[in-house]
Structure 1
């Protein structure tokens, strides 16, 4: 491996830095986008039980819910405007949802950039290697054909490395985007179920009045 890095020359340095950055982003996103962290089991059911009991919701309880997870933040935003009508609640949920998506997609643009830049940097390294090889031929002649083939092989190391960096980065980028999309669907479902409970609670209060 060290010999391949040396063969690629200095263009291998940015490729190695991209590799380290991509690996760090993937590990961080796996940790941050765990399902139990984004959608804690039983949280939606617990919140619906709060509302169904008909007891006043203390601001401290709502703030505590907001701090638990992205799902908690969405449900807390819904509870903030629970007395202001269904349309207002829907707009608040959509607005908070957009912010949550932005937070969950943190670093994914960087990962996508790495996936796109890896092959280009690899090609750049190959071009630099080919230029150096042909300049050597210009100064010293063709010489041994096996050395020429070896020089071409070394120049192509950068292209191969760029692909090795880009392919996993692209795969994980698409994987995380898909995971976030599935989380958003589940969060919207929980928000709709809470809205139904809020409507039932409001109807119950109306009958009592």
Structure 2
């Protein structure tokens, strides 16, 4: 049974390939859109096609990676705020260390710098410096994938221009061989040459948009994480210095 299947497979593959070649040949003979707008662009279209695939992959990855659940999940934020309001710093550190989110790892990295011997500030400067150090290292990793989108945005027009130059050289080569300028022939050659420029711009324009979109989204998520950490620290400070805060309230003002 296996041998029969194996013997049939080459015939099926051959016939299928023949059908595909015949159908593709008929499509190309009719000058369909694939031939007219993509394949006629020449070998440079291969590199532009790779750039398009890279852009799609990077956009999908950043959409998955840059989410609130991976940076500042609401449940973790509420739990950490509850611990810090009750001055359970060790519990907050353990909870943050057990969570893979940005906020969890940042709190696990920064909160050990809290200094209980300084009740008025709790070592706020050291904690904020630790949060800044964490963000510098962590943001570099996230920005790497966003910068690749910027690289596609810069490289795609250059590839398009390269294809156009190659096509124009070919067009003038035809002109030099024939010795006369035939408008129809030159127009066809120039049209093919400009295909790569068109696809380079089609790739670069959305790449620029996505680059700034994801960059701003990352900045917003990081700012939200820092705001949450500041809120937790302020909650602990208010708990530790509750009596001092009350003495500063003018007489007759409701709390």
Give the TM-score taking structure 1 as reference length.
0.88
Is 1:74 aligned to residue 112 of structure 2?
A: no
**Greater CA radius of gyration, 1 or 2?**
2
Q: Which runs of 5+ in 1 are unaligned?
A: 205-209
Q: Give the CA deviation at 1:192.
A: 0.9
Aligned with 2:136 (options 59, 74, 98): 98
Q: Shift of the alpha carbon at 1:48?
A: 1.5
Partner of 1:207: none
Partner of 2:73: 40
Q: Deviations over 1:62-105 (max 9, x none)?
A: 4203x2x0111122223222227111111101111212222322
- Per-residue CA deviation, residues 25-77 of structure 1 (Å, 9 max, x unaligned), is 00000011122222211322210211233446256434203x2x011112222
Structure 1 segment 166-205 matched on structure 2, within 5 A: 166-203=204-241
Match of 1:64 among 98, 101, 116: 98
Q: Once the two structures are superposed, what CA deviation does each residue of 1:113-138 show, in whole Å capped at 9, x if it has no partner?
A: 11011111101100100001111111
> Matched residues in 2 for 1:85 and 1:124: separation?
57
Distance in 2 of aligned mates of 1:80 and 1:191 = 13
- Which runs of 5 or more structure 2 residues have no equivalent in the other structure? 1-32, 116-121, 243-255
Secondary structure of the 1:42 match is: helix
3-state DSSP of counterpart to 2:180: coil
Q: Which runs of 4+ in 1 moved over 6 A?
A: none
CA distance in 2, matches of 1:79, 1:197: 13
Q: Which residue of 1 aligns with 2:163?
A: 125
TM-score, normalising length: structure 2: 0.73
Question: How big is the shift at 1:139?
Answer: 1.3
Aligned pair count reads 204
Shift of 1:154: 0.8
* Structure 2 residue 161 is matched with structure 1 residue 162: no
* Separation (CA, whole Å) in 2 of partners of 1:56 and 1:44: 14
